[in-house]
Amino acid sequence: MRRTIKSLILLLCVAGLSPFWVNWGLRLLVARPDHGEAVDAIVVVGRGAGYNERRAKAAVELWEQGRAPHIFMSGANDAPVLVDLATEMGVPADQVSGEACAATTWENAFYTKRYMPVEKSAIYKPKVLLVTDGLHVGRTTLLYRNLGFEVVSHPVGLTFPQWRMQLKREFLAIMYYIATRQIFPPQADKYERANNAADKRIVEWKCLDMEEAFIPHLTQK
């Protein structure tokens, strides 16, 4: 993993901090293309209201192909909407679930690990199909891998206005994650703080209940 981070830092130097090339390079370094294999679950990472329908449709199509028995939606503000969209598209309620607790991409990975209904053990890495957009997929894949997932990337498209808006935003997010060392696997103290915060959040936000979740206004990182 640290070799990947060193490669990323070298890439930043070579690319001259160009948002496009940095993003493309990170995706090339860490994202594993989707070749059609079966996985334990399909994970959809929220990005905001204008992105949900396309992501839900992609996840449902993968589920219909028999790629995984379960779809898990992750993200405050997005998960309840994504779950509703999936069930409206025909996915049985017991085969789709989610968490509306995650307010950042790191938290997407953390809460997925904590609450996604798949086998969890010290020796088994859950294999997931990760559904997000192509600009987000590099950073998201790396963070999920840091938290113990085997990740197959399944990027969905963006409209040009979305792409233009998210390109710079994602570049700044990558810089922020490097500066704060969130790009590395979490140390034990960070993980303990996250667990403590999660215990409080699931009570205050009711964020595991897709019908009752109360989500304050958030800006994701």
For 45, the token pair is: 């990472």
Ranges of H-type helices in the chain: 2-15, 19-30, 52-64, 79-88, 105-115, 137-146, 160-179, 188-204
pLDDT, averaged across the chain: 88
pLDDT category at 11 given cuts 50, 70, 90 is low
% of the chain beyond a pLDDT of 90:
68
First vs last C-alpha separation in the chain = 22
Amino acid identity, position 78: D
pLDDT at 32 over 90: no
CA 168 and chain centroid, separation: 19
Question: Confidence band (pLDDT; 50, 70, 90) for 81?
Answer: very high
Residue 196 tokens, joined: 């403590």
Between CA 213 and CA 211 the distance in angstroms is: 6
What is the per-residue pLDDT across 191-211, written as a single tens digit (0 to 9) for each? 999 999 999 999 999 999 998
Rounded CA-CA distance 47/61 in Å is 19
Comparing CA positions, the residue from 179, 111, 186 lying closest to residue 142 is 186
Q: pLDDT value at position 12?
A: 52
Confirm if 99 and 111 have CB atoms less than 8 A apart: yes
Q: Can you give the pLDDT at residue 84?
A: 96
Asked whether residue 14 carries a pLDDT value surpassing 50, the answer given is no
Mean pLDDT along residues 37-49? 95
* Burial category of 95 from C-beta neighbours within 10 Å (exposed 0-12, middle 13-18, buried 19 and up): middle
Least confident of 27-31, 124-128, 149-153: 27-31
What average pLDDT score do residues 41-48 get?
95
How many Å apart are CA 198 and CA 184, to the nearest integer?
Answer: 20
For the segment 41-59, the average pLDDT, to the nearest whole number, is 95
